[in-house]
Homo-oligomer: A and B are copies of this chain.
Amino acid sequence: MSTDEPYAPEPAGPAPADPSLAHRMPALGSLQLLLAVARLGSLGRAAEELGISQPAASGRVRAMERDLGLALVDRSPRGSRLTPAGALVTDWAGRVVEASAAFDAGVQALRDRRDARLRVAASLTIAEYLLPGWLIALRPLRPATAVSLRAGNSEAVAALLLDGEADLGFVEGPAVPAGLDAVTVARDRLVVVTAPGHPWTRRTAPLDAAELSGRPLILREEGSGTRQVLAEAVGGLAAPLLELASTTALKAAVASGAGPAVLSELAVSDELAAGRLVKIPVEGVRLTRELRAVWPAGHPPVGPARDLLALTRGGRG
């Protein structure tokens, strides 16, 4: 069992998905409860914060410990503290809660189109990866501000701004649409990724545009901004190996060995850090994009839009 092949002979099937994950996973409320216990030091006070009764909290923590097979909390007559394992589990729980809060913030913005006080129009990459976090950061500053989100490409964003149907926009790409003022809030790069063990990971020379445009890739569906940018940069694309409707599904397919894909660096930083995906060097292709905040020329944002803009600039605004 020592020197056998480290890489299995490529299952290469489309993609995984663990049906039992949802059963092994505590409910979101239980994770929040654990975080509240960590912060407040008492089951009862944590229960109060979450608006449930103390026995319910006691029961949930107990059930969680039973299901996970770990002692998480040291109870005592004057409070509860996390065990060492509990502290670790609580940190992991925090990541789940954060991702859930981002999901929630995004969904609310996508729905609240009605009485929105702050109407944001954003490109897909920004809406996917950056905007939910910004909205969470904005909430304590502007608790009463309902935010609405429209996602679309640069032209759509520009049109919404110029028609007065959006207060602040975010676009990606080389050019600032006509009639808009802009400031760069971040930079993004498209990267070529494969599963570890893919033949491309053993290349010595970087890929070039011709190779990228000639090889079948796993792509988002037609109309995706990233796909368009890529097609433009390399001069057309081969017929896709597979077309998927979400970036996450795409990453899962790549990780399972279905083939290479081109994705925003923002989308794959975690996977690269963990080695679930491998970045393939590319040469001679312009894959860097500016991510910019935009507004109608001469009308700098005010009110909530100004606050959101300041946030995106990391307090430098």
Give the contacting residue for A196; candidates B17, B104, B252, B315; CB below 8 A. B315
Q: Classify the interface of chain A: helix, strand, loop or mixed.
A: helix
Give the contacting residue for A275; candidates B28, B99, B111, B312; CB below 8 A. B312
User: Which stretch in A135-143, A157-165, A175-183, A230-238 binds the other chain?
Assistant: A135-143
In the complex, the answer to whether B96 meets A99 with C-beta atoms within 8 Å is yes
Q: Which residues of A contact B (CB under 8 A)?
A: 1-4, 6-8, 11, 14-19, 21-22, 24-25, 27-29, 32, 35-36, 38-39, 41, 49-52, 68-70, 81-82, 84-104, 106-107, 110-111, 124, 127-128, 130, 132-134, 136-137, 140-141, 143, 151, 186, 196, 201, 244-249, 251-253, 255-256, 270-276, 278, 302-303, 306-307, 310-315
Given A22-B27, A253-B39, A151-B6 contact (CB < 8 Å): no
In the assembled complex, the CB of A206 is this many whole angstroms from the nearest CB of chain B, namely 15
Measured CB to CB, the nearest residue on chain B to A6 is B307
Q: How far is the CA of A244 from the CA of B313 in the complex (A)?
A: 29
Q: How far is the CA of A243 from the CA of B42 in the complex (A)?
A: 14
Q: How far is the CA of A21 from the CA of B252 in the complex (A)?
A: 27
Contacts of A132 in B (CB 8 A): 92
In the assembled complex, the CB of A299 is this many whole angstroms from the nearest CB of chain B, namely 12
Name 20 interchain pairs, CB-CB below 8 A, sorted by A: A4-B303, A6-B307, A17-B32, A19-B49, A21-B32, A38-B245, A68-B107, A85-B110, A88-B127, A89-B103, A92-B107, A92-B128, A94-B247, A94-B249, A134-B274, A134-B275, A137-B255, A186-B273, A274-B311, A275-B315
Given A17-B50, A141-B7, A98-B270 contact (CB < 8 Å): yes
Q: How far is the CA of A36 from the CA of B132 in the complex (A)?
A: 23
Contacts of A52 in B (CB 8 A): 19
